[in-house]
Structure 1
Amino acid sequence: MTKNIYIILALLTSILFSSCDSFLDIQPVGKVIPNTLAEYRALMTTAYKTNQFQDKAYSEMRTDEIVISSDRNDQSSFSAIETWNDLNSPSGTATFGWSNYYNAIFYANSIIDKKDQITEGSKEDIEQLVGEAYLFRSYLHFILVNLYGQPYTKDGAPETKAIPLKLSVDLEEVPSRNTVKEVYTSILSDIQTARGLIHQKEWESKYLYRFSVPSIDAFEARVRLYMGEWQKAYEMAEQALAQKSTLEDMNGEMLPNNFESTEMITAYEFMFSVSSNKACLVSPSFLQKYDNTDLRLTKYFTAPDEENNRISAKGGEAKFTCTFRTGELYLNSAEAAARLDKLPEARARLLQLMEKRYTPTGYDNKKNTVNAMSQTELINEILEERARELIFEGHRWFDLRRTTRPRIQKELGGSIYVLEQDDARYTLRIPQEAIDANPGLMN
Structure 2
Amino acid sequence: MKSFRLVLFLCLVGVMSSCDKFLDIRPTGRVIAETGEEYRALLTTEYKNFPEDRGLVSFRSDEMTLDASTTSSEDLSAFFDLWAWNDQAPQATTVSLGWRRYYHAIYIANTLIANRYTMTQISEPDRRQLVGEAYMMRAYCHFLLANLYAPPYTTVRPDTARAVPLMLSADVNLVPKSSSLAEVYTQVERDIDSAAILMNKVEWPTGLNYRFNTISAKALKARLALYQADWTGALAAAQQVIAAHPALEDLTLSSALLPTSYKSAENIVALEQVMTPTYARAGRVSDELLALYRSGDRRKAHYFNAVSSTTTLLRKGGGGEQHSTFRSAEFYLIAAEAAAQLGSLAQARDYLKTLMKKRYTAAFYTLHATAVDALSQADLINYIYDERARELAFEGHRWFDLRRTTRPLLQKTYGTNTYTLAPNDRRYTLRFPTEALEANPGIEKLEH
SS at match of 2:413: strand
Q: Which residue of 2 aligns with 1:42?
A: 41
Alignment of 1:204-243 (within 5 A): 204-243=205-244
Q: Which amino acid aligns with 1:410?
A: K
Q: Please report how far the alpha carbon of residue 178 of structure 1 lies from its aligned counterpart in structure 2 after TM superposition.
A: 0.6
| 1:155–1:436 CA distance, 2 compared to 1 (3 A) | closer
Q: Please report how far the alpha carbon of residue 195 of structure 1 lies from its aligned counterpart in structure 2 after TM superposition.
A: 1.2
**C-alpha distance in structure 1 between counterparts of 2:324 and 2:161, whole Å:** 31
Q: Please report how far the alpha carbon of residue 410 of structure 1 lies from its aligned counterpart in structure 2 after TM superposition.
A: 1.2
**C-alpha distance in structure 1 between counterparts of 2:320 and 2:114, whole Å:** 32
**Contact 2:234–2:334 (CA<8 Å) still a contact in 1?**
yes
Aligned residues: 422
Q: Please report how far the alpha carbon of residue 213 of structure 1 lies from its aligned counterpart in structure 2 after TM superposition.
A: 0.9
Q: Which residue of 2 aligns with 1:177?
A: 178
**Contact 1:24–1:99 (CA<8 Å) still a contact in 2?**
no
Q: Which residue of 2 aligns with 1:11?
A: none
Alignment of 1:284-295 (within 5 A): 284-295=287-298
**C-alpha distance in structure 2 between counterparts of 1:78 and 1:240, whole Å:** 35
**Contact 2:4–2:176 (CA<8 Å) still a contact in 1?**
no
**Contact 2:242–2:331 (CA<8 Å) still a contact in 1?**
yes
**C-alpha distance in structure 1 between counterparts of 2:53 and 2:396, whole Å:** 9
Q: Which amino acid aligns with 2:143?
A: F
**C-alpha distance in structure 1 between counterparts of 2:188 and 2:40, whole Å:** 22
Q: Which amino acid aligns with 1:69?
A: D
SS at match of 2:117: helix
Q: Please report how far the alpha carbon of residue 46 of structure 1 lies from its aligned counterpart in structure 2 after TM superposition.
A: 1.2
Alignment of 1:166-205 (within 5 A): 166-205=167-206
Q: Which residue of 2 aligns with 1:84?
A: 85
Alignment of 1:12-411 (within 5 A): 20-27=1-8, 29=10, 32-51=31-50, 53-70=51-68, 71-251=72-252, 252=254, 253-305=256-308, 308-411=310-413
SS at match of 1:311: strand
Q: Please report how far the alpha carbon of residue 133 of structure 1 lies from its aligned counterpart in structure 2 after TM superposition.
A: 0.2
Instruction: Establish whether residue 441 from structure 1 lines up as the match of residue 443 from structure 2.
Output: yes
**C-alpha distance in structure 2 between counterparts of 1:365 and 1:230, whole Å:** 29
SS at match of 2:420: strand
Q: What is the TM-score normalised by the length of structure 2? A: 0.92
Identify which range, 151-160 or 332-341, moves more after superposition. Answer: 151-160
SS at match of 1:382: helix
Q: Please report how far the alpha carbon of residue 54 of structure 1 lies from its aligned counterpart in structure 2 after TM superposition.
A: 2.4
**C-alpha distance in structure 1 between counterparts of 2:94 and 2:376, whole Å:** 45
**C-alpha distance in structure 2 between counterparts of 1:192 and 1:93, whole Å:** 38
1:51-88, CA deviations, whole angstroms, 9 ceiling, x for partnerless residues? 1x321122111111110232222211111111100111
1:362-406, CA deviations, whole angstroms, 9 ceiling, x for partnerless residues? 111111111111111111111110010000000000011011111
**Contact 1:28–1:171 (CA<8 Å) still a contact in 2?**
no
**C-alpha distance in structure 1 between counterparts of 2:134 and 2:271, whole Å:** 14
**C-alpha distance in structure 2 between counterparts of 1:32 and 1:308, whole Å:** 53
**C-alpha distance in structure 2 between counterparts of 1:21 and 1:115, whole Å:** 32
**Contact 2:276–2:319 (CA<8 Å) still a contact in 1?**
yes
**C-alpha distance in structure 2 between counterparts of 1:420 and 1:158, whole Å:** 26
**C-alpha distance in structure 2 between counterparts of 1:28 and 1:414, whole Å:** 46
SS at match of 2:418: strand
**C-alpha distance in structure 2 between counterparts of 1:163 and 1:156, whole Å:** 15
Identify which range, 250-259 or 330-339, moves more after superposition. Answer: 250-259
**Contact 1:153–1:402 (CA<8 Å) still a contact in 2?**
yes
| 1:147–1:258 CA distance, 2 compared to 1 (3 A) | same
Which structure 1 residue ranges, 5 or more long, are not aligned?
A: 1-19
**C-alpha distance in structure 2 between counterparts of 1:44 and 1:278, whole Å:** 30
Identify which range, 260-269 or 120-129, moves more after superposition. Answer: 120-129
Identify which range, 105-114 or 61-70, moves more after superposition. Answer: 61-70
**C-alpha distance in structure 1 between counterparts of 2:401 and 2:80, whole Å:** 22
Q: Please report how far the alpha carbon of residue 123 of structure 1 lies from its aligned counterpart in structure 2 after TM superposition.
A: 1.1
**Contact 2:289–2:389 (CA<8 Å) still a contact in 1?**
no
Q: What is the TM-score normalised by the length of structure 1? A: 0.93
Q: Which residue of 1 aligns with 2:14?
A: none
**C-alpha distance in structure 2 between counterparts of 1:56 and 1:158, whole Å:** 26
| 1:369–1:106 CA distance, 2 compared to 1 (3 A) | same
Q: Which residue of 1 aligns with 2:24?
A: none
SS at match of 2:430: coil
Identify which range, 120-129 or 153-162, moves more after superposition. Answer: 153-162
**C-alpha distance in structure 2 between counterparts of 1:138 and 1:279, whole Å:** 31
**Contact 1:109–1:167 (CA<8 Å) still a contact in 2?**
yes
**C-alpha distance in structure 2 between counterparts of 1:195 and 1:108, whole Å:** 15
**C-alpha distance in structure 2 between counterparts of 1:29 and 1:206, whole Å:** 24
Q: Which amino acid aligns with 1:215?
A: S
1:278-308, CA deviations, whole angstroms, 9 ceiling, x for partnerless residues? 1110111221001231111111101233x62
**Contact 1:231–1:336 (CA<8 Å) still a contact in 2?**
yes
Q: As a proportion of its length, which structure holds more helix? A: 1
**C-alpha distance in structure 2 between counterparts of 1:80 and 1:267, whole Å:** 29
Instruction: Establish whether residue 425 from structure 1 lines up as the match of residue 427 from structure 2.
Output: yes
SS at match of 1:334: helix
**C-alpha distance in structure 2 between counterparts of 1:22 and 1:248, whole Å:** 49
**C-alpha distance in structure 1 between counterparts of 2:48 and 2:5, whole Å:** 18
**C-alpha distance in structure 1 between counterparts of 2:77 and 2:406, whole Å:** 30
Cα RMSD (Å) of the superposition? Answer: 1.4
**C-alpha distance in structure 2 between counterparts of 1:274 and 1:197, whole Å:** 35
**C-alpha distance in structure 2 between counterparts of 1:208 and 1:158, whole Å:** 36
Structure with more contact order per residue of length (Cα contacts < 8 Å, sep ≥ 6): 2
